[in-house]
Amino acid sequence: MRQANIGTHSRTADNDILPIDWNRGRIPLKSRGWIYAAAIMFVLSACANGPPLQSGPPTHSPQMENAADTGKESSGEPAPTGESVREPLISSVPKASVPAKIAYLTFDDGPSLNTEHILGILNTFGVKATFFVIGNGSEQGRNLYRKITDSGHAIGNHTFSHDYSTVYKSVASFKRDVEKLNTLLEQTTGKRPELLRFPGGSNNHQARKHGGSRIMSDIAAAISEEGYVYFDWNVSSTDAASKMQKREDIVESVRQGAQGKQTIIVLMHDSAGKTTTVEALPDIIRLLQEQGYRFQVLSKDSMAVRFLQP
């Protein structure tokens, strides 16, 4: 009777709760009780310890979360120890702390027919550059000013006349020349450039010959006061070193000049006659791309390379 009761009870229980295999009687009833108990203990233990995932290595460290929330930059701090080191740190660090290599290609003394060719090459590579132009009121000149800005490149003022004896005669003379070009550019493109490059750079002997020993620092101070930002360069393509510099020498000068530099302002010329600069440009772009540089246009906020401080 007792056995029958137990058996009835067990069968009912088995039929309602247990998987089919259990009905085949392979495991004695006595053992089933222990297995139930063990299963319950396992579940209780798991609940007390929290979800099983948390017992493994953390997938997201608290340090990273704090950095992301506050936007604080973690460089300069000692590296976190232990499990958090396994985090892919690079993905959590703000972009500003991993400086990109930036190349600013600059072309002086245009526009000319070569400007047209250069714009075509830049367009093919999808690269933007900065043109420090001089005065050219012809129809072709005006069209090229427009084409430069319409293509997303930057224009800077390189004085209207680019004549050393005129622009460096005095501060007033320099300002007049700059203003004359900016008026032409505003009429043509609708914008007045605030970027400027001195003919010959900010530290040139010609200027002192025409305007005295203080002329460059006086002009630099005066134009900075008016809101202009001037740029020199830290990589020369040497395309102005001779009347017709060899294409290979231009490429090699840029390669050597860029070595070890994170940000480069490359000096080139798009004036008439500088055809080897046009020929060298595709190689220069490929070379710098292979070295990891990204190309940008100069703006007032760009790193300013200056031989002479205002």
Interface positions with Zn ion (CB under 5 A)? 108-109, 199
**What residues are paired with 105 via a beta bridge?**
266
In eight-state DSSP terms, residue 88 is -
> Nearer to Zn ion by C-beta: 109 or 169?
109
Measure the CA–CA gap between 137 and 161, rounded to whole angstroms.
12
> Nearer to Zn ion by C-beta: 196 or 229?
196
Min dist CB 297 to Zn ion, Å, is 18
Min dist CB 92 to Zn ion, Å, is 46
Min dist CB 204 to Zn ion, Å, is 10
Maximum alpha-carbon separation in the chain: 127
**Is omega for the bond preceding 58 within 30 degrees of 0, making it cis?**
no
Amino acid at 46: A
Min dist CB 271 to Zn ion, Å, is 8
Q: Give the residue at shortest CB distance from Zn ion.
A: 108
> Nearer to Zn ion by C-beta: 156 or 199?
199
Min dist CB 283 to Zn ion, Å, is 23
Q: How far apart are the first and last CA of the chain?
A: 110
Taking 3-state DSSP, the helix, strand and coil percentages for the chain, each rounded to the nearest 5, stand at 50, 10, 40
> Nearer to Zn ion by C-beta: 108 or 232?
108
Min dist CB 251 to Zn ion, Å, is 21
> Nearer to Zn ion by C-beta: 253 or 271?
271
Strand pairing category for 229-230 and 235-236: unpaired
> Nearer to Zn ion by C-beta: 108 or 296?
108
Measure the CA–CA gap between 138 and 136, rounded to whole angstroms.
6
The candidate with the shortest Cα–Cα distance to 206, out of 162, 245, 268, is: 162
